[in-house]
Structure 1
Amino acid sequence: MFLCFTDLDGTLLNHDDYRYDAAIPTIQTLKQAGIPIIPTTSKTKAEVLDLRESLGLKDPFIVENGSGIFLEPGDPRFDFSELDVAMTTEATLTTITLGISYAQARQSLQNLAQQIGEPLTGFGDLSLEALQDLTQLPLEALKQAGDRQFSEPFLRPQTDLAQLESLAKKAGLQILVGNRFCHLLGAGAGKGRAVQLLQQAWQKAHPDQPPIKTLGLGDSPNDLSLLEAVDVVIAVPGPEGVNPKLASHIQEQGWLVAPYPGAKGWAAAVEKQLNELDHPLAR
């Protein structure tokens, strides 16, 4: 038994066409085994809800690079009582906020732009047409991507990123570098922190069980905190191989590498873990 934390773009979803067909049989196996599949992504709540419905998932999910956790109200598998988190519950979802608000992220991006003397173009500054050229996503998907709550993606600036990251840190912020965008979010956010909180919440709800194992899958540098927080790490390669910024970690820490890019590699790597656990549903 383990918790499966997975990035989406370039990991569970193919890098170019965002399809996940090759992973569906493995997803069904995990669901039958009662193993939670927890999307851990830079995507928004709206984007993940749509995918979650398509896959028939009822598990928690982590959005906007660990800025927020969502789960079904009263999910008995996770107990967040006594954990130091800001939590609100509505009719359909409980929200755990680890980051800042979207309004704060937008204002902070403008503040950073003034400090470096260079415009910083955020997601909210671009038209749907411009975003479509950048991402090749359909308009409806872009509307979901724009429904942000905690963070602001922005185009990589001319300014040295190390300088920008230093200024962000002084302001109580952080910058993550993704495949297409940089992401500005609050210092308290992070995929790794969100993973650890969900692991703790699971353990609190299952006090008589041994510590739950965690599996994490990702493909890019903005997955590092996720991958560093789990017991078993699987790096999913892109069409041109493993991201160079993950390569040193793979060599030094013995991380596993999926045999193929995208959903096909995701499925093969997860099936291998199930087989090594000798899980009956993997046969």
Structure 2
Amino acid sequence: MTMNQIDLSHFVQKHQLGADFSAQALEYFVPLAREIANLHQNKHRSILVGINGAQGSGKSTLSELLVHILKEKYGLLAISLSLDDFYYAHHERQHLGHSIHPLLATRGVPGTHDVMLTLETIDHLLHHNNASTVCVPRFNKATDDRHDESQWTKVTHAPHIVLFEGWCVGASAQDDKELTQPVNALEESEDETGQWRQYVNAQLKHHYEPLFSNIDFMVMLKAPSFDCVYQWRLEQEQKLIASLNQIQNDSQQVMNEAQIARFIQHYQRITQHLLHTLPQKADVVFELDDNREIKNRIKNSDAPTLSIPTLIFTDLDGSLLDHHSYSHMAADSTLKYLQQNKIPVIPCSSKTQAEIEKLRLDLNNPHPFIIENGAAVFIPKHYFPVQPSDTKNQGEYWVKEFVAPHEHWLNKLNNVRDEFNGLYKPFSSMTIEEISQVTDLSMEQASLAAKRQFGEPVLWLGSDDKKREFIKTLQDSDAHVLQGGRFLHVCGDANKGKALIWLTGVYQQLKSQRFISIAIGDSHNDIQMLDMADKALVIRSPVHNIPSLSRVDDIYISDKLGPAGWAQGVNQILDDLFDLTDSPIKGEIHG
């Protein structure tokens, strides 16, 4: 199967987004849409997704992007609601300003929204019967008033997903003692008694928290601090100006820089409270830098995870690790996504125990691993509730061995040394410096690679004809020879595929559920693993052709090389596992 990457170019152009937005969206927001689609599938009903972000953080853009992705990739009808569209009308807020506190005339804080209308609208959307039309309010920020009802958005079919975004969505009330001290000049000079902030906090506690309790899945775009909100809000206002028709009545309420500086002080208290409290409650948090670039994704341990039990068995060199640099950086965000969704990534490599242990520490990977081309499986003790049968205790692990130890295969090589003298060089005859030179590994990494327990890597120096003869001679002595990315591996009757089948069986037996297995590799010694898994991902290599497999279905071939292709392919397979497009999208939204 080819890689079917969603095209976001039209969306980016329509919203006048920067050149880097597409890459960020593909890396972070397309996988987020997958989690939302999966949650909808599991709930068997329409769901409400909350999106929180400080002013100018990009929450409206994210909401509209998710509408697009959910339709294009999953055939799901999503509708975007903004809390901003539920502000009280201008005259209603003027009344609040006269009767309770002057600051309530300014839209924004809890107490200035029609919460009853918000609840009714969300309820009607989530329980839409396809026989009526739900009208969604729209607010005109340029005139600081609601649009006429004739301009409200009309939803004629039941949405699968309602995306509800707003700067205070998900907020909780503060303790009364936290309201005593003003947080800025606005509170100090215009709310000296604290009446405004006490009223806002009470509204949040008694009306907004019950509203937000309906949210099934909460997403937060977390600003680094409140300090950057002014610049973000200024950019937002400039976009608003650019989008308005050049009509005086439409632009009369657009704010200048001084007005924006005062305006955002209305939001400061709750925004800072959200930055402190919501990350612990939100299902997914995207931490932003000052330029709104995502620097980290965090998922709450209690958040719903992808529901199809999946195991990923991956080759390392040339697949998860770049063939030349051994870097996994291009796959890091996908690795974190898998970790947060509790999908085990199981290294399955020609590497030694010592090499893989070091990599597992680097990746914070607690899962089993397969060493030396399937020679043995190492399972951390107590990873499963009971020790798998036919394993032995070895240090911190339960170990399943499939072949004879290292010395046995060295003897096999010694037996053919005279016949093929000078045509090959075993790993065991190389110095650490030589191993480093031939593998491009550091001296430390090369010393770990030399710690073989089972098979023996061989660097071939002769012709292809002689190599075939060499392999045949070893096979006649009951040795097996696997072609890796750089070396021939002389070993016993074991391979990555057999280890995959055995370990998958252990997972299924001891966790009492069926697992989908995904195998990822780039070279000849990955063939058995790629053939035996439920789904195979072949990574393109910069140094050799893709291996030929026996299977004909469920094969994915990356467009990109190494870890970039790894991430691309894993996301494609996960998309296909959660494909809902067999049910055509229904519904229209007019407005």
TM-score (norm 1): 0.88
CA distance in 1, matches of 2:377, 2:341: 23
For residue 383 of structure 2, what is the aligned residue in structure 1?
75
Q: Deviations over 1:211-258 (max 9, x none)?
A: 311101100111111101101111101136xx4352x43995562111
AA aligned opposite 2:531: E
User: Percent of aligned positions with the same letter in both sequences?
Assistant: 29
Pick the aligned partner of 2:362 from 42, 54, 72.
54
SS at match of 2:374: coil
1:243-274: per-residue Cα shift (whole Å, max 9, x none)? Answer: 4352x439955621112101111111111222
Higher relative contact order (CA 8 A, sep 6+): 1
Moved over 6 A (4+): none
Quote the offset at 1:30 in angstroms.
0.9
- What is the rounded CA distance, in whole Å, between the counterparts of 2:568 and 2:386 in structure 1? 28
Of residues 273, 277, 281, the one that matches 2:573 is 273
Deviation at 1:15, TM superposition (A): 0.7
Amino acid at match of 1:164: F
> 1:164 deviation in Å?
2.5
TM-superposed deviation, 1:51: 0.4
Report deviation, 1:171.
Answer: 2.1
Question: Deviation per CA, 1:119-147, whole angstroms, max 9, x where unpaired?
Answer: 64200111222222211111000000001
Whole-Å Cα distance in 2 between the matches of residues 38 and 251 of structure 1? 22
Counterparts in 2 of 1:270 and 1:254: CA distance versus 1, 3 Å: closer
1:20 corresponds in structure 2 to 328
Q: Is 1:165 paired with 2:471?
A: yes
**Partner in structure 1 of residue 482 of structure 2:** 176
User: Matches of 2:385 and 2:467 in 1, distance apart?
Assistant: 40
- Which amino acid in 2 is paired with 1:136? D
Q: Which runs of no fewer than 5 residues in structure 1 stay unpaired?
A: none
Indicate the residue corresponding to 1:112 in structure 2.
416
Q: Counterpart amino acid of 1:233?
A: A
Aligned to 1:192: 497
Report the Cα distance in structure 1 between the residues aligned to 2:343 and 2:418, rounded to whole angstroms. 47
Q: 2:360 is matched by which residue type in structure 1?
A: R
Structure 2 distance, partners of 1:175, 1:165, is 6
Note if 1:256 corresponds to 2:556: yes
User: Which amino acid in the other structure matches residue 480 of structure 2?
Assistant: Q
Please give the per-residue CA displacement for 1:180-218, whole angstroms capped at 9, x wherever unaligned. Answer: 11110012x1101000000111111133x3x31110110
Q: Deviations over 1:77-105 (max 9, x none)?
A: 78632xxx4x2213411221112211112
Equivalent residue for 2:508? 203
After TM superposition, give the deviation of residue 169 of structure 1 in Å: 2.4
Amino acid at match of 1:238: S
RMSD, aligned α-carbons: 2.1
| C-alpha deviation, 1:25, in angstroms | 1.1
Q: Which has the greater radius of gyration?
A: 2
Distance in 1 separating the partners of 2:420 and 2:395: 43
SS in 1 for 2:373: coil
CA pair 252-276 structure 1, distance change in 2 beyond 3 A: closer
Letter in 1 for 2:539: V
How many aligned positions are there?
269
CA–CA separation in structure 1 for the residues paired with 2:323 and 2:451: 22
CA contact (8 A) 1:78 1:202 kept: no
Per the normalisation by structure 2, the TM-score is 0.43
- Counterpart CA distance in 2 for 1:234 and 1:72 is 26
Q: Which moved more, 1:87-96 or 1:121-130?
A: 87-96
Cα drift, residue 115 of structure 1: 4.9
* Distance across 1 between alignment mates of 2:576 and 2:312: 15
